A and B are shown apart, each in its own frame.
Chain A
Amino acid sequence: MRSVTFADARVVDLLNAKFVVAWNNHNPDLDGGAGARQPRFTAEELELYPEGGGGGNVRAIVCLPDGRIVHYVMGWFRPERLVEELEFALTLDEKDAREKHDAHAREHAEAQATLAKDHPREMTRDFAQSAIRRRHAMLGLQAQTHAVAAGVLLQAVDKHLDEVKRHSSSRAFK
């Protein structure tokens, strides 16, 4: 994320122009440990790295100015996708956020189903070999992202991250 998505001009300019930007470590127990340092990927490896990869280790959270969560993206997202999610998040307010997340989840799920119906042969191919298969997976991830966001909607971000930290730290040492 740091050397690709957060180095991208579109992402940086949008974040710096529209948001207060904070970085949080939800498992400081692993700081400097083997799990905290990742190898640098080559451009070829990154091209094939699945968006959403990394799961709960990486969370991008958008909040209203009062700190309540309106959008929640888990895993690694490419710059263009993160920009898409950030721009969507900027349209949300406390009254319409749930409705818009539900609508987007439905749209992505429908688009995913249509893609599978139109390209049945592509669905059996390897991810690395098929852009359509990767697009199909991405649509599923985006639908899931909206469902995850709806589950934490309007929670206070500091309290939510305290919970994540408690869960994450205890899990790491079991």
Chain B
Amino acid sequence: MRTLAALLLLASALVAQDEDPPRLIEQLGGDDIDSRDRAEAALVKLGRPALATIEKALAGADGEVKARLQRIVASITRPRWTTDLTRALATAKAQKRPLFVFSTVGDLDGYA
């Protein structure tokens, strides 16, 4: 019983670590690329509640960490557009999620 409780405690501590923005930001600068990728994905998943911490870190970041932080901010604060309609259709079908298509004349960035 005690072992089970200890395991549960350990599991919840690990989950908490995975959801801790400062710790994840630290991992963005780690040696292992898989860990860096995982930390980036986890920060994107945390979304808007983590944004203030991410933006604060961005102010003092450089190199790859800065690039990753900028990408994370973009993923959280903008729609995650794909310009490949065929791929979007396949993803929507596979994930059984509705598809939103914004169609314009010309370049998206041209629109105010």
Q: Please, what's the 1-or-0 string for B60-101, where 1 marks a CB less than 8 Å from any CB in chain A?
A: 000000000000000111111111111011011101111111
Within 8 Å CB of A59, what residues of B? 101-104
A117: interface (CB < 8 Å): no
B102 touches A41 (CB 8 A): no
Within 8 Å CB of B4, what residues of A? none
Residues from 3 to 22 in A contacting B, C-beta threshold 8 Å:
3-4, 6-7, 9, 11-13, 15-16, 18-22
Across the interface, B104 reaches (CB within 8 A) one of A20, A33, A57, A66, namely: A57
B111 touches A2 (CB 8 A): yes
Nearest-neighbour CB distance to chain B for A56, whole angstroms, equals 8
Within 8 Å CB of A25, what residues of B? 83, 103-108
Across the interface, A13 reaches (CB within 8 A) one of B48, B89, B104, namely: B48
Within 8 Å CB of B106, what residues of A? 25, 27-28, 30-33, 35-37
Question: How distant is the Cα of A32 from the Cα of B92 in the complex, in angstroms?
Answer: 30
**Considering residues B75, B95, B103, B104, which has the most beta carbons from chain A within 10 angstroms of its beta carbon?**
B103
Nearest-neighbour CB distance to chain A for B21, whole angstroms, equals 18
A161: interface (CB < 8 Å): yes
Count, chain B residues at interface, CB 8 A = 37
Q: Please, what's the 1-or-0 string for A54-67, where 1 marks a CB less than 8 Å from any CB in chain B?
A: 00011111111111
Count, chain A residues at interface, CB 8 A = 54
A38: interface (CB < 8 Å): yes
B112 touches A65 (CB 8 A): no
B47: interface (CB < 8 Å): yes
**Considering residues A1, A24, A60, which has the most beta carbons from chain B within 10 angstroms of its beta carbon?**
A24
B112 touches A24 (CB 8 A): no
B109 touches A2 (CB 8 A): yes
6 closest cross-chain pairs (CB), A and B = A36-B106, A22-B88, A19-B100, A63-B99, A24-B103, A20-B92
Question: What are some 11 contacts across the A-B interface (CB < 8 A)?
Answer: A15-B80, A19-B99, A22-B82, A30-B106, A37-B106, A39-B112, A61-B102, A63-B99, A65-B99, A66-B93, A67-B92
Using a CB–CB cutoff of 8 Å, the interface residues on chain B facing chain A are 47-48, 75-86, 88-89, 91-93, 95-112
Known pairs A23-B104, A65-B99 / 12 extra A-B pairs, C-beta < 8 Å: A2-B111, A12-B76, A22-B82, A22-B99, A23-B83, A24-B103, A38-B112, A40-B112, A59-B102, A62-B98, A62-B100, A86-B100
